[in-house]
């Protein structure tokens, strides 16, 4: 028998959000873990908020909303707030009841410098890492390092001469989006800068590729399960990858034994190899065909071959943050904001990866 539509808006609801979310939904375990991590950051939140005044939107809700934006690839904060308003799953995750009003999207911009900065984002990232370390998902011996380009939120037309107030020819711009001819013009980072994002640099990573205004992101990955253990944002340059790698390796608190770090051929230079050895780290860098800084004894070692094979897993993290996390092109201006966004993206990546590693959460919370 065919059913008929008989929709009538109910005045009262007797079903809670908790009942609407399936018991086996993956966000249940994630929310429990995130709530515990944010509860441990209470002192950090207290330090950035005034003791008097009108109560703000709880920072825990804003950070959980930001995680939703990353996990579900929501392209803007305006759409994020709209989705939280009508999506029962999102309301439940951030901690809103059915009758609660959602905050305005401008709340994210107002709290960008205070709440979504690099310092607090790194605290959250470190909390996630400590949880993975406690669950024995992170080793302390073998790592991999690599860098990637993150396209800046700036057009090529904003890349102008530093000694000119307007356009390159001194003429005032015609209209909102004037025609600009770059043919035959030499544009370099030492003579030009973007008027939209001063931290962006004109750079290309491979020969034959087009130059773009971009930033450079670097990560250090643990080889045991492919979790990211450190993140760094720098200007895009030919030496930035190696300098950032040494900086991240120096931040690692080493235990007994010798560490190894795998990397591609871009790191095969004398400065990086010697820098690793000064830190007590064995560089397992893919050797160039000629003039390699990696000696033959290192290349003959079985661990060298394993590191070169496992290091390719680092591309999974870069692919995830660019396709799912929305970091192929940042919508934020400057390194300070981008660093906070990148740390939150890689923290979300670690949380997702931890959730797929053999049910460790059930084993520790049975």
Q: Please give the pLDDT value at position 11.
A: 65
C-beta separation of 65 from 94 below 8 A: yes
Give the lowest-confidence range in 1-15, 154-168, 219-233, 341-355: 1-15
> What fold is seen in the domain 140-152+214-332?
Nucleotidyltransferase; domain 5 (3.30.420)
Residues linked to residue 148 through DSSP beta bridges, in sequence order = 217
pLDDT in tens, 303-324: 889 999 999 999 999 999 999 9
- Tokens 């102008």: give the residue: 160
CB-CB contact of 126 with 134 (8 Å): no
Dihedral class, residue 23 (left if φ above 0, else alpha if ψ from -120 to 50, else beta): alpha
What six digits make up the tokens of 308? 């070169």
Long-range contacts formed by 263-270: CB under 8 A, 24+ apart: 263/144, 263/145, 263/146, 263/311, 264/146, 264/311, 266/241, 266/242, 267/145, 267/241, 267/242, 268/292, 268/293, 268/294, 269/242, 269/293
Domain boundaries, the chain: 17-115, 140-152+214-332
% of the chain exceeding 90 in pLDDT: 55
Residue 205 DSSP symbol: S
Residue-wise pLDDT tens digits, 127-159? 999 999 998 898 888 999 999 999 999 988 888
Residue 20 pLDDT more than 90?
no
Quick count: other Cβ atoms within 10 Å of Cβ 208?
Answer: 5
Average pLDDT over residues 171-178: 66
- Per-chain mean pLDDT for the chain: 87
CB atoms within 10 A of CB 14: 6
Average pLDDT over residues 257-285: 90
Percent of the residues in the chain that have a pLDDT greater than 70, as a whole number = 90
* The pLDDT value given to residue 89: 93
Q: Is the full-model pTM beyond 0.85? A: yes
pLDDT tens digits, 280-308? 899 999 998 888 988 888 888 888 899 99
Among 130-134, 195-199, 207-211, 255-259, which is the least confidently predicted range? 255-259
Residue 245, judged by CB atoms within 10 A of its CB (0-12, 13-18, 19+), counts as buried
Helices 77-86 and 59-71, interaxial angle, to 10°?
A: 100
43 CB-near residues (< 8 Å, 6+ apart): none
Pair 137, 360: CB distance under 8 Å: yes
Phi (first) and psi of residue 165, to 5 degrees: -80, -30
pLDDT of residue 115: 85
Q: How far apart (Å, rounded) are the C-alpha atoms in residues 312 and 253?
A: 24
Residue 165 pLDDT greater than 60, yes or no: no
Tokens, residue 285: 């860098």
- In this structure, how many other beta carbons lie within 10 angstroms of the beta carbon of residue 291? 9
């Amino acid at each position: 028998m065919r059913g008929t539509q008989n929709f009538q808006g109910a005045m009262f609801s007797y079903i809670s959000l908790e009942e609407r979310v399936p018991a086996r939904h993956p966000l249940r375990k994630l929310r429990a873990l995130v709530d515990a991590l944010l509860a441990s950051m209470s002192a950090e939140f207290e330090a950035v908020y005034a003791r008097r005044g009108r109560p703000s939107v709880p920072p825990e809700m804003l950070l959980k909303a930001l995680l939703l934006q990353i996990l579900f690839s929501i392209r803007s904060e305006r759409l994020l707030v709209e989705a939280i308003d009508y999506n029962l799953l999102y309301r439940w995750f951030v901690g809103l009841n059915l009758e609660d009003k959602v905050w305005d999207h401008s709340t994210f911009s107002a709290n960008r410098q205070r709440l979504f900065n690099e310092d607090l984002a790194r605290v959250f990232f470190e909390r996630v890492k400590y949880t993975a370390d406690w669950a024995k998902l992170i080793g302390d011996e073998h790592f991999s390092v690599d860098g990637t380009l993150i396209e800046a939120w700036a057009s090529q037309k904003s890349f102008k001469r530093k000694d000119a107030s307007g356009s390159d020819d001194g003429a005032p711009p015609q209209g909102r989006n004037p025609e600009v001819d770059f043919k035959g013009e030499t544009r370099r980072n030492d003579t030009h800068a973007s008027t939209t994002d001063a931290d962006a640099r004109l750079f290309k990573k491979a020969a034959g590729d087009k130059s773009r205004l971009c930033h450079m992101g670097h990560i250090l990955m643990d080889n045991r399960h492919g979790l990211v253990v450190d993140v760094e944002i720098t200007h895009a340059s030919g030496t930035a990858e190696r300098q950032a790698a040494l900086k991240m390796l120096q931040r690692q608190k080493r235990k007994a034994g010798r560490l190894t770090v795998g990397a591609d051929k871009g790191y095969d230079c004398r400065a990086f190899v010697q820098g690793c050895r000064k830190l007590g780290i064995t560089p397992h860098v893919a050797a160039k065909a000629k003039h390699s800084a990696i000696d033959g004894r290192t290349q003959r070692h079985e661990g060298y071959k394993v590191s070169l094979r496992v290091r390719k897993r680092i591309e999974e993290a870069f692919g995830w943050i660019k396709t799912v996390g929305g970091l192929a092109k940042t919508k934020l201006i400057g390194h300070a904001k981008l660093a906070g966004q990148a740390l939150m993206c890689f923290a979300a990546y670690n949380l997702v990866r931890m959730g797929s590693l053999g049910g460790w959460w059930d084993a520790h919370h049975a």
